[in-house]
Amino acid sequence: MADYTTKHARAGIQARLPRLDTWPNQFPGYRIVTRFPEYTSVCPKTGLPDSGTITIEYEPRKLCLELKALKMYLLAYRDLGIFYENAVNRMLRDIVAATRPAWCVVRGEFTPRGGLTTTVEARWPRTRVVARHRQPMMTQR
């Protein structure tokens, strides 16, 4: 199999996706957790399908994500060639740009491939990753 290239690594990062709509938040100091267990995308190297569960957790300030628009946004990844790591970080970037939350975590738990299970978690504001035993990842819901 050929080597991975910069083209593979950058695939999907700047692709046009549906707009994330928002609505005005009415209450302070709470969190929203949304799970999407039907995430799919395409590996930019092999063209094989990838799937998993995406969990979005955030504390809204002035804006909340509108769920139908979020669903359409996430479904648009179905035919997009993008690596797991890039998909999760792209989602975080787009959600933060749309909502300007107090904080946000996007977590992708991907189905096994070649006997390996991968979980990718991206946070905003960006923080240093510390050992799992010192700072656990988001809890299961």
Q: Is 79 considered catalytic here?
A: no
Q: Given 3, 50, 64, 79, which residue is catalytic?
A: 50
3, 21, 43, 104: the catalytic one is 43
Rounded Cα gap, residues 45 and 82, in angstroms: 9
Are 107 and 87 in contact, with CB atoms under 8 Å apart? no
> How many CB atoms lie under 10 A from the CB of residue 12?
18
Q: How far apart are CA 7 and CA 44, in angstroms?
A: 9
Let me know the angle formed at the C-alpha of 39 by 12 and 66, rounded to the nearest 5 degrees.
Answer: 90
In our burial notation (b when 16+ CB lie closer than 10 A, e otherwise), range 121-130 reads ebbbeeeeee
- CB of 97 within 8 A of CB of 19? no
Q: Is residue 64 among the annotated active site residues?
A: no
Residues taking part in catalysis? 43, 50
